A and B are shown apart, each in its own frame.
Chain A
Amino acid sequence: MPEMQLREAIRAAMTEEMERDETIFLMGEEVAEYNGAYKVSEGMLDKFGPKRVIDTPISENGFAGLGIGAAMNGLRPIIEFMTFNFSFVAIDQIINNAAKIRYMSGGQFKIPIVFRGPNGAAGQLAATHSTSVESIYAIFPGLKVISISNPDDAYGLLKSAIRDDDPVIFLESELMYGMKGHVDLDPERTIPIGKARIAREGEDVTIIGHNKSYWVAMEVADRLAHEGYSAEVIDPRTIRPLDFDTILASVKKTNRCVVIDESNPYASIASEIGFRLQEQAFDYLDAPVMRITAKDVPAPYAKNLIEYYMPQADDAYEACKKVMYVN
């Protein structure tokens, strides 16, 4: 298994799929001649030509809608947002058209489209460039939402997303594009949408984290392990549909759960998981479900403030100790 960067894994997935299926094209700002704002699509213009790797003007509503129309009419677009913060000027396209047209047409049209790009905070980019959008898109039936934490999952899940006949929001991370990991390259291999990954088995507490928060979860689990506590770490990978069965089974075993989520706390994925656990695992909970999220403010610029804004490993660690009733 070769080791590659996250950006390379994403590129490999797109390239393999585009080689397999001519109806797939990549469109977005700076994806072609510039080779991608984050070099994800580097070399793809040379490989596939301008018909299939297409630069756009700064016009998210326009090219998001264009992708949806193309998907309705038989193509499989991959629409790259330079960051998902920019998807907000295209949000009508995503939530009113991509998510709903199939339903409103009584199932006549399918919308096999992938919207992908980096999500969440990436250092000192301040409020407009740091939003974590999972819960915003996961609200809408008709969309699927994937949020990946490592190159292999990115590879396998992006391929599934491209092959999926429903619209998929595929969330990456600027900060992780350079992260290296082993990727099991195989044109036939995909990772199913809607399956969580138990990254680490444990008995004492379940820690859930996706995207960058997954790594916070692993750090906390390591610290707990040094003290003799065994944490089970789950990376949901798919936010919608959420693999709640895996979460439920884990919490029924550990009786405790801490969710780490980079989103703002209000109506977040962490809230959703917490709610469903009280609903479905009530009699198995030995402690309240706790969540560690971004602070309930817009992302600030100052270094110390943005660091404080992000979910803290220390806080997650303390939360785990608290739900385990140990000091």
Chain B
Amino acid sequence: MAIPVEMPKMSDTMEEGVLVAWLAEEGDAVSAGDVIAQVETDKATMDLEVYDDGVLLKRVIEEGDAVPIGGLIAVLGKEGEDISDILAKYQAGTAEAAASGDGAEAEAEAADAPAAPAGGDGAPAARPEPVPATAEGEGRIKASPLARRLAGEHGIDLAAVSGSGPEGRIIKRDIEALIGAPKAAPARPEPARPEPARPEPRPAEAEPLYEAVPISQMRKTIARRLAESKFTAPHFYLQVDVNVEPLVAFRRQLNELAEAQGRAKVSFNDLITKACALALRQHPQVNASYLEKEGEIRQYKAVHVAVAVAIDEGLVTPVIRHADQKGLAQIAEETRALAEKARDRKLQPEDYTGSTFTTSNLGMFGIEEFTAIINPPNACILAIGAIRDVPVVRDGEVVPGKRMKLTLSCDHRIVDGAVGARFLATLQQYLEEPMNLLL
């Protein structure tokens, strides 16, 4: 039996993937676990593994082709096996989709869909946060029959699974999330769409007025997510100008120590990450999400701070988990490692999902102040400006000082002015008395 290799779901916001490189030739023998291609998702470039042994009979798509989740990428099987049935089956599916309506229009509508899964840092915005399946005071585990079967087949203990269905029911997608099945439920096949816009050959006489660049998966996701955030979360902004002289001194001391111990240097950003984490712990209203569809506000028990990282293709937000519980050195090391992975497009879903707060720093570009768009479903984002040398009045004299502007964007649906201001005051206090970051 020939085996179809389908486009797997490689992130929880992924809807389609672009095959960027084939790593195996037709006719190659492959074994389960072999990587046969690389796929660009909205988040990263991922390895495409096969789950079966066999010969790569057919590379169905070419490099650069975009395929929706579940779409056919390749066919494995025995040498010389007839695969026309499989090809026909998938072909039929494509034809149907193509016939079902105007591709562009359908795509536009899909993007508008209220249930569109979260992009950005990939937090499960549009889905209920998993709740423990064993409801308080009730011993039995609620799981759909299908989920029970899947769990049984994969040796998964349901007691350890969080259910995302009604009343914590464990459903198919919860199990699939654990077993890394290619398709979470319900599949949302991208409506038929045109080929990724490769520049059309144009008549030689007409000089092109522009260069058409295909919209990457990442770019699409950023566009949709940030538009969704800006247009649904009413933003307001609070700013403080932090005296960072103590912080500068503190950092210098720390790094001297780090150098002596051969550890990673701590950046201002790392210090701010830590300060944010500690401040968030004291202000749970900010470490929260407004989830309209679920009809609730969630105040998270853990503090996961995402750090925006610019890469060539766009922007990613790797997450420092439990940042409030981690030491500065650990935060520094993790941030550096994640940034490197991001630039190499090697981030895994667990690296960039689940943040409860995000920071964005443009100080290195000399930007003194700016406002950032909230990374849904976070309640706030902190925009960090450059450290400025400014004249300050101290004891009646004008002396040189160092200041840094922090601008907090708040979702007014959940964070009111006073709440945001109090959080910002706490943050400022940590940064101006940085020894507290060590406590």
Contact = CB atoms under 8 A, between A and B. Distances in A.
Contacts of A225: 100-101, 106, 191
B171 A325 contact: yes
Nearest to A288: B144
B172 A286 contact: yes
A240 to B, nearest CB: 27
A327 B114 contact: yes
Interface string B350-392: 0000000000000000000000000000000000000000000
Interface in B144-178: 144-149, 164-166, 171-173
B208 interface: no
B297 interface: no
Given A205-B186, A226-B109, A327 B115 contact: yes
B333 interface: no
A296 interface: no
B148 A326 contact: no
Contacts of B172: 255, 286
A230 interface: yes
Nearest to A322: B166
Interface string A308-327: 00000000000000001111
B165 A325 contact: yes
A225 B96 CA distance: 12
B149 A324 contact: no
A227 to B, nearest CB: 5
Interface stretch (A128-136, A173-181, A277-285): A277-285
Interface in A229-284: 229-230, 255-256, 282-284
B96 A326 contact: no
Secondary structure class of chain B's binding surface, majority of residues: loop
B177 to A, nearest CB: 13
B4 interface: no
A228 B15 CA distance: 10
Secondary structure class of chain A's binding surface, majority of residues: loop
B196 interface: no
Q: Which of A226, A228, A229, A284 has the most CB of B within 10 A?
A: A228
Nearest to A287: B144
B171 A228 contact: no
A325 B113 CA distance: 15
A226 B186 CA distance: 15
A203 interface: yes
B145 A324 contact: no
A227 B126 CA distance: 14
B185 interface: yes
B110 interface: yes
B69 to A, nearest CB: 10
Interface residues of B, number: 32
Contacts of B109: 226-228
A46 interface: no
A227 B93 CA distance: 18
Nearest to B189: A230
A286 B148 CA distance: 9
Contact of A255 (B93, B146, B166, B190): B146
Given A326-B115, A327-B126, A228 B146 contact: no
A255 B184 CA distance: 12
A22 interface: no
A165 interface: no
Contacts of A324: 185-186
B188 interface: yes
Interface in B18-44: none
Given A204-B187, A283-B148, A286-B147, A325 B173 contact: yes
A225 B103 CA distance: 12
B293 interface: yes
B16 to A, nearest CB: 12
A201 interface: yes
Contacts of A227: 109-110, 113-115
Contacts of B70: 203
Interface string A201-234: 1011100000000000000000001111110000
Contacts of A287: 144, 165, 171
B145 A325 contact: no
Contact of A228 (B93, B173, B185, B191): B191
Contacts of A226: 106, 109
Contact of B145 (A203, A230, A283): A283
Nearest to A228: B110
Contacts of A203: 70, 186-187, 189
Interface string A164-207: 00000000000000000000000000000000000001011100
A283 B146 contact: yes
A201 B144 contact: no
A228 B110 CA distance: 5
A255 B147 CA distance: 10
24 contacts: A203-B70, A204-B185, A204-B186, A225-B101, A225-B106, A225-B191, A230-B189, A255-B146, A255-B172, A255-B185, A282-B145, A285-B145, A286-B145, A286-B146, A286-B147, A287-B144, A287-B171, A325-B164, A325-B173, A325-B186, A326-B126, A327-B114, A327-B115, A327-B293
Given A286-B172, A325-B164, 8 more contacts: A203-B186, A227-B109, A229-B186, A229-B188, A285-B145, A286-B147, A324-B185, A325-B166
Interface of B: 70, 93, 96, 100-101, 106, 109-110, 113-115, 126, 144-149, 164-166, 171-173, 185-191, 293
